């Protein structure tokens, strides 16, 4: 198969983990006889440094014209001035919005060999296999906002959470579709005791639920869900929620897997290219040292193969290779402080376990 993949390494450890993921994709390309063309563009703080903007129209157009986009991470202290008008994260939001990738899938399945890396009790982690379906192009991330001095000399700031019924409906529909291929359970997370957006969310989810009688639906308030995620994580199957709740809950869920570095994500639009990124950030504290965990990025590349290129066999091959490397005890420093592998050594350990064909 021929495919054009745009790689946006971004900032901090982004370039390190995407280099690892590209190595894996290139190797898959050779071993399975595909022609995957990978080309890099700037996005985030590095793009601000170059062009004054976190993403250019040209880069956005290249991404839109590609088969898939692989992203590292964006941001860092250099661009963190709270007064700055231009921020790296704006590039990411513009990209998500520009590609229309409203559905962010974040699977969380602790690796059996990494149970002791999690601060949670091992017994709680047994059987955990959940999928967070996070709405990605609406809500408070994209609502009207502002900050300014008022005539009385006080400063005031606001952000608005806005949802349209169709935005809720399409993400909840997808959650039900995905649940049908899993354990047939959807937990819709909201804050319906307080927020109008959540009350609409719950009504839409209930309506969609009625169209899927073979799938169990329950509603949880986000504070309860946050507690249950660490108290009884195995009880969840598919969790569907709005943008910011999903952001927060997936960092929390990452703890179940022992490290933020392990979690991949896929952002899909239903048509057009998907966007694939590990859920971790740019980790400025360890950037440039070559020690970042590339597993989240490599598993994101596997999701890219699966969802954007329909290369299921190749996706499974990458996932099995990651599994094999972890089973063999290969670890980066986030999971094992002594005698850890470097980012590229971990990538090599994974590549080495890819099937010949
Ligand atoms: C994530 C990140 C981003 C988000 C940031 C970097 C804008 O935390 O993908 O979870 O909040 O969506
Ligand atoms: Mg986040």
pLDDT at 82: 84
- Ligand 2: centre distance to CA 106 (Å): 11
pLDDT at 41: 98
190 is known as an active-site residue: no
Helices and strands, number each (H, E), in the chain: 12, 12
- For 349, residues 6+ apart whose C-beta sits below 8 A from its C-beta are 325, 328, 330, 341
pLDDT digits (tens, 9 = 90+) for 169-178: 999 999 999 9
Q: How far apart are CA 114 and CA 231, in angstroms?
A: 19
Q: How many angstroms does the Cα of residue 109 sit away from the middle of ligand 1? A: 20
**φ and ψ of 232, to 5 deg:** -145, 65
Do residues 74 and 90 make contact, with C-beta atoms less than 8 angstroms apart? no
| Residue segments in the chain with a per-residue pLDDT below the cut of 50 | none
- C-beta 279 within 6 A of ligand 1: yes
Q: Does ligand 1 come within 6 angstroms of the Cβ of 135?
A: no
247 lines ligand 1 (CB under 6 A): yes
Position 38 scores a pLDDT of 98
Neighbours of 254 (CB within 10 A): 20
Mutate to test the pocket of ligand 1, among 72, 77, 89, 138 (most ligand atoms within 8 A of CB): 89
Task: Specify whether the CB–CB gap between 55 and 62 falls below 8 A.
Answer: no
Instruction: Output the CA torsion 143→229→307→271 (10° steps).
Output: -30
119-257: which CATH number, 1.20.140.10, 1.10.287.110, 3.40.50.1820, 3.40.718.10? 3.40.718.10
Active site residue 11: no
Active site residue 251: yes
User: Which CATH fold would you assign to the domain 1-101+287-357?
Assistant: Isopropylmalate Dehydrogenase (3.40.718)
Whether residue 201 contacts residue 188, with contact meaning beta carbons closer than 8 Å, is answered with yes
pLDDT at residue 356, rounded to an integer:
82
Task: Give the bridge partners for 158, in sequence order.
Answer: 146
Q: What pLDDT score does 189 carry?
A: 99
Q: Quick one: pLDDT at residue 155?
A: 97
The pLDDT value given to residue 281: 95
> What element of type H or E holds 24?
helix 14-31
Domains 1-101+287-357 and 119-257 share a fold: yes
Kindly report the backbone phi and psi dihedral angles of residue 242, in degrees, each rounded to the nearest multiple of 5, phi listed first. -75, 170
Q: Sketch the domain layout of the chain as residue ranges.
A: 1-101+287-357, 119-257
């Amino acid at each position: 198969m021929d495919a054009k993949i745009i790689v946006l390494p971004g900032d901090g450890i982004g370039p390190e983990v995407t280099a690892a993921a590209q190595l894996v994709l290139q190797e898959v390309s050779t071993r399975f006889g595909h022609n995957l063309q990978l080309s890099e563009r700037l996005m985030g703080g590095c793009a601000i440094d170059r062009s004054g903007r976190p993403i250019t129209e040209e880069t956005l157009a290249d991404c839109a014209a590609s088969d898939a986009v692989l992203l590292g991470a964006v941001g860092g202290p250099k661009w963190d001035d709270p007064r700055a008008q231009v921020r790296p994260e704006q590039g990411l939001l513009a990209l998500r919005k520009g590609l229309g990738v409203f559905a962010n899938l974040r699977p969380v399945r602790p690796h059996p060999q990494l149970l002791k890396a999690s601060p949670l009790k091992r017994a709680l982690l047994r059987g955990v296999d959940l999928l967070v379906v996070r709405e990605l192009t609406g809500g408070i991330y994209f609502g009207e906002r502002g900050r300014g001095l008022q005539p009385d000399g006080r400063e005031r700031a606001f952000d608005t959470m806005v949802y349209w019924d169709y935005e809720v409906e399409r993400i909840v529909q997808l959650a039900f579709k995905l649940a049908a291929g899993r354990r047939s359970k959807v937990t819709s997370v909201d804050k319906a005791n307080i927020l109008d957006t959540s009350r609409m969310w719950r009504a839409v989810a209930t309506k969609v639920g009625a169209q899927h009688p073979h799938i169990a639906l329950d509603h949880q308030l986000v504070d309860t869900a946050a507690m249950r995620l660490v108290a009884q994580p195995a009880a969840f199957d598919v969790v569907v929620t709005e943008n910011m709740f999903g952001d927060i809950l997936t960092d929390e869920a990452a703890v179940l897997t022992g490290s933020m570095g392990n979690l991949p994500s896929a952002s899909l639009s239903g048509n057009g290219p998907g966007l694939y990124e590990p859920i971790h950030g740019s980790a400025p504290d360890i950037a440039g040292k070559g020690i970042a965990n590339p597993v989240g990025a490599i598993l994101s590349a596997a999701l890219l193969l699966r969802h954007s290129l329909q290369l299921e066999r190749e996706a499974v091959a990458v996932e099995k290779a990651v599994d094999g490397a972890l089973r063999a005890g290969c670890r980066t420093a986030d999971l094992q402080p002594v005698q850890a592998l470097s980012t590229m050594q971990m990538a090599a350990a994974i590549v080495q376990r890819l099937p010949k064909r």
